[in-house]
Amino acid sequence: MPSTGSPITRMREPLGHPTSTIPEAPRERWRKAFVAVRAETERRAARLSPEDQVVQSMPDASPAKWHRAHTTWFFEQFLVTPNLPGYKAFDPQFAYLFNSYYVAAGPRHARPMRGLVTRPGVAAVGDYRAHVDAAVTKLIAEADDETLARIVPIVEIGLNHEQQHQELMLTDILHAFAHNPTAPAYDADWHPPGAAGENGFVDLTEGIHTIGHDDGSFCFDNEGPAHRELVGPVRIARALVSNGEWLAFMRDGGYANAALWLSDGWNMVQAEGWTAPGYWAEIDGTWHSLTLAGRQPVDAAAPVCHISYYEADAFARWAGKHLPSEAEWEVAARSGGLADAFGIVWQWTRSAYAPYPGYRATEGALGEYNGKFMVNQMVLRGSSLATPDGHSRVTYRNFFYPAARWQFTGLRLADYPA
Ligand SMILES: [Fe+2]
């Protein structure tokens, strides 16, 4: 669900008064938020063996151990080292190992080689996390009011950053498990979230709407500035596209009909041999999918998952419809008409990932967080079954390359009024 009422966003209240005495309660709430998010990472990692945590199944996916260390480095690099007097790095070599893509923060290990780093081991990464956890909680507890007001936004982006990696831990291990012939279960008791499956469309008449984040709570810089866009007339499907509908597309030769596909998409179909969504396999005449609970028969009523932008686009063309733009999606979601907007699958939009009018990246190294990726990717809206509680919101802009399908990605359709 949107995070307008999340514990994290509620804790921003002291920020409006940076020069006043900050009461004890907000300081304690920030500490608790930090401890809770850090614990969720470890809770997700606890189901993974040391061997699970080392594997890197492709350059785009990272080992779980790396996610645990990189999120820790983020706090060490941007929060603790510059702000906690006398802080001693756990290991000076870790900055090289666990910097992801921040050029301004120094040189780093090559991304495709992360799976070759067997040391530090899982236990040492746990020690690294504990070392930085202690430093962050000390900083939050002991910083003077002025320093606290300055560092709270860094704590907040660090927590949101770690929540993003919590989702990636699951998408990345599922990709690794997909290469294991025994189809391991991350959690044998896991069940997919139920979809409301409402029928019909949200009708949007032509109008000018405000798009983007404007309520003062936390957002990533790519969600603003809020601005006005002309939207509609258009109809946005209330339901996500289901596996049953996708099977109909497959039976109709959707993956074999070049006329349905973008040129780049058709090239991917040919090169990768795509005949079904990611992780699908036909066993004894029945389609199965690898899920977090292991290999399961495909549920025709459930939303389709693990599809690329190219597949979503081809499906929409086959259905005689199109994908919503991100502005159309946001207006429909704000109207309350999209019951399955959050917590099931990210939904591809037809919008290229580009800066909003007036966008300026944050200054300094953290300005590399979003802005430098604003080309050649497509925007996804909503959130997925792997998104941590309190992390999603109606203005959230996720983005991936159009061929990517190891994320929990699906679609909803849009249509023009008759
Ligand atoms: Fe990161």
Question: To the nearest 5 percent, what fractions of the chain are helix, strand and coil?
Answer: 45, 15, 45
**Cα 33 to averaged position of ligand 1 atoms, centre (Å):** 19
**Cα 392 to averaged position of ligand 1 atoms, centre (Å):** 17
**Cα 11 to averaged position of ligand 1 atoms, centre (Å):** 23
Measured at the CA of 334, the angle between CA 329 and CA 336, to 5 degrees, comes to 105
Say which amino acid occupies 237: A
- pLDDT at residue 310 is higher than 80: yes
**Cα 255 to averaged position of ligand 1 atoms, centre (Å):** 34
Measured at the CA of 261, the angle between CA 257 and CA 267, to 5 degrees, comes to 95
Rounded Cα distance, 415 and 123, in Å: 52
**Cα 337 to averaged position of ligand 1 atoms, centre (Å):** 33
Confidence of residue 3 (pLDDT cuts 50, 70, 90): very low
If you ran DSSP here, which 8-state letter would residue 195 be given? P
**Cα 95 to averaged position of ligand 1 atoms, centre (Å):** 13
Total number of residues shown for the chain: 418
For residue 285, give the 3-state DSSP assignment.
coil
By the 8 A CB rule, do 398 and 415 touch? Answer: no
Q: Where are the strands (E) in 243-293, listed by range?
A: 280-283, 286-291
- pLDDT at residue 23 is higher than 90: no
The region of weakest confidence among 201-210, 349-358, 359-368 is 359-368
**Cα 409 to averaged position of ligand 1 atoms, centre (Å):** 20
**Cα 145 to averaged position of ligand 1 atoms, centre (Å):** 28
Render pLDDT for 228-262 as a digit per residue (tens, 0 to 9). Answer: 999 999 999 999 999 999 999 999 999 999 999 99
- Its pTM surpasses 0.85: yes
Mean pLDDT, residues 399-412: 98
**Cα 102 to averaged position of ligand 1 atoms, centre (Å):** 9
**Cα 168 to averaged position of ligand 1 atoms, centre (Å):** 10
Render pLDDT for 54-71 as a digit per residue (tens, 0 to 9). Answer: 999 999 999 999 999 999
- pLDDT at residue 18 is higher than 80: no
Q: Which two tokens stand for residue 203?
A: 């009708």
**Cα 372 to averaged position of ligand 1 atoms, centre (Å):** 14
Torsion angle defined by CA atoms of residues 274, 275, 277 and 279, in that order, rounded to the nearest 10 degrees: -80
For residue 11, give the 3-state DSSP assignment.
coil
Measured at the CA of 305, the angle between CA 300 and CA 310, to 5 degrees, comes to 115
Q: Residues with Cβ within 5 Å of ion ligand 1?
A: 100
**Cα 73 to averaged position of ligand 1 atoms, centre (Å):** 9
Render pLDDT for 259-268 as a digit per residue (tens, 0 to 9). Answer: 999 999 999 9
Who's near 410: CB < 8 A, 6+ residues apart? 240, 241, 303, 304, 305, 307, 312, 344, 345, 346, 347, 348
Q: How many angstroms separate the Cα of 57 from the Cα of each of 41, 62, 122, 308, 349? A: 20, 8, 18, 18, 27
Q: Which two tokens stand for residue 220?
A: 């990533």
**Cα 139 to averaged position of ligand 1 atoms, centre (Å):** 22
Rounded Cα distance, 235 and 232, in Å: 8
Render pLDDT for 69-104 as a digit per residue (tens, 0 to 9). Answer: 999 999 999 999 999 999 999 999 999 999 998 988
